[in-house]
Amino acid sequence: MKLIQILCITGLLWLTGCASTTTTSSSSSIDPATGLSTSSAASRDAGALQPITAAQAASRAVAQLQPPADLWERIRRGFAMPNLDNDMVHEREQYYAARPDYILRMTERSRKYMFHIVEELERRNMPSELALLPFVESAFNPQAVSSAKAAGMWQFMPATGKHFELKQNVFRDDRRDVLASTRAALDYLQKLHDMFGDWQLALAAYNWGEGNVARAIAKNQNAGLGTSYSDLSMPMETRLYVPKLQALKDIVADPQKFNTSLPDIGNHPYFQKVDIARDIDVTLAARLAEVRVEDFKALNPSANRPVILAAGTPQILLPWDNAAIFKRNLQAYSSGQLASWTAWTTSTTMKASEAARRAGMDESEFRSINHIPPKMMIKVGSTLLVPRSERVEDDVTEHVADNGQLALAPEPPPITLHRTLVKARRGDTLAALAGRYGQSAASVAGWNRMSASAPLKAGQHLVVYLPMKARPAGTLTAHARTRSGGKTSVAVASTRARPGAKVVASAHSRPSGVKTAARAPAKSAQRVAKSAPQRASRDTVVASRTR
């Protein structure tokens, strides 16, 4: 029995020796970003555990044991950009610290969007300071529009927005959209950081333009100067851009130091996405979600019309707890159509008054809802918002919802018409003569107080009203000659009329030095005098040939 025990112990000792004498060929490597070893075998070879450095502790590779107390703490943990310390930063710190109401309004406005932005930054492994950039750009107002036409809380210019696939049409402007604009802004900032390898230069390029920053760097390189943000020559707006962000970072990092308080923003989502399958009015969507229209628009600021088109915007954002309420109320809704508006694409150029008449709307309401300023015409192919009748069952198509545009042109000025005598040709009818001058037979008949079917004689003189530029050479224009104070002047019978308006003639005086190439017969002159405007009827009318 003792022999068996001795053999067992000997076998165990032999196995233990084999395990302890096995060597490993594993080699360790250090992650330059975190300073941590990538080989667990190397850690065992090193023996006792070593304390991590401060840089390693600040790295995102080291997980915190306690979750952040709020979103501000989460942002502080993600700070990763080098600090800027100069007089401009200190001046901005004092500026913000002296305006607690302004800081409070901005931060309160940001609570709807901040969690989503921080989530996206962490997913991309980008510095959390960038979550504060909309404070600098727009004070976190998604409806903000600059004098240069930049829009949204990330302030995209129209061309830059299109480059980053932000739709801009009559129904929506994705530069204001919370999700789309944040995606585009972070894409752009990542691109700029890849170009310049420095976050401060990337921010300067976001404000000033990548081409301008690249040229400023090249200029300094050629002059043997530094190429950091502080070294470059740039406009004052860009010079203050990073100091503003740094000042806000310092305040968020230590609010008490600046005698500032930040509102509590929970470290959880504020909104969630909800799918929609049909067009729906903005006011109805807000009512079904049981939120104020203002709050609904704050989460869906890209909708710039009173209706949301499902083909172009298949999702809406709602406060987290109201999403379920909306779905429940939408399912139970049975009061008719969800949308009271639809889209109409014009087939011809027309005035706003005519388009409003066709849509059955008041002109002022039509102009307001379609953003048509005074004295502008609607060009062919424009997409307009009009009331949706109960007979219309189909929603707006995806093509129209994504590509609808409004094209405008100035209304043409009033046309100046001149009263002109023309001769009928052999075999002419009233319709043929009127067509030759671009007029209708009814108009020519009315001007000459005759029937539209009346026969014409060769050489017969008739009155037509022609635009000044359209008067052909060889026609006769009626003039009225008057004497006043021993001086003679000649008045040309003409009229100013808008298309479709009643022709009202007026007399414009002309100096008496008008050259007369031919005289009309006396009877023709009498006929002209009888039909001339009242103010010129007392004058002697002669006919002169225009060239």
Give catalytic residue positions: 137
CA atoms in the 13 A half-sphere facing the CB of 162: 6
Question: Among 174, 176, 173, which Cα is nearest to 143's?
Answer: 176
Three-class SS of residue 37? strand
Do residues 373 and 348 touch, judged by C-beta distance below 8 A?
Answer: no
Instruction: List C-alpha distances in Å: 227 to 239, 242, 499.
Output: 14, 16, 64
Question: Among 156, 178, 80, 73, which Cα is nearest to 124's?
Answer: 80
Three-class SS of residue 478? strand
Return d(Cα 126, Cα 81) in angstroms, integer: 9
Do residues 81 and 127 touch, judged by C-beta distance below 8 A?
Answer: yes
The H or E element spanning position 461 is strand 461-467
Question: Among 319, 234, 306, 229, which Cα is nearest to 274's?
Answer: 319
Q: Which long-range contacts (CB under 8 A, 24 or more apart) does 347-350 make?
A: 347/380, 348/380, 349/377, 349/378, 349/379, 349/380, 349/409, 350/377, 350/378
Give the CA diameter of the chain.
159
Return d(Cα 219, Cα 232) in angstroms, integer: 9
CA atoms in the 13 A half-sphere facing the CB of 47: 0
Return d(Cα 235, Cα 230) in angstroms, integer: 12
Return d(Cα 417, Cα 505) in angstroms, integer: 8
Return d(Cα 332, Cα 472) in angstroms, integer: 71
Q: Which residues contact 469 (CB under 8 A, 6 or more apart)?
A: none
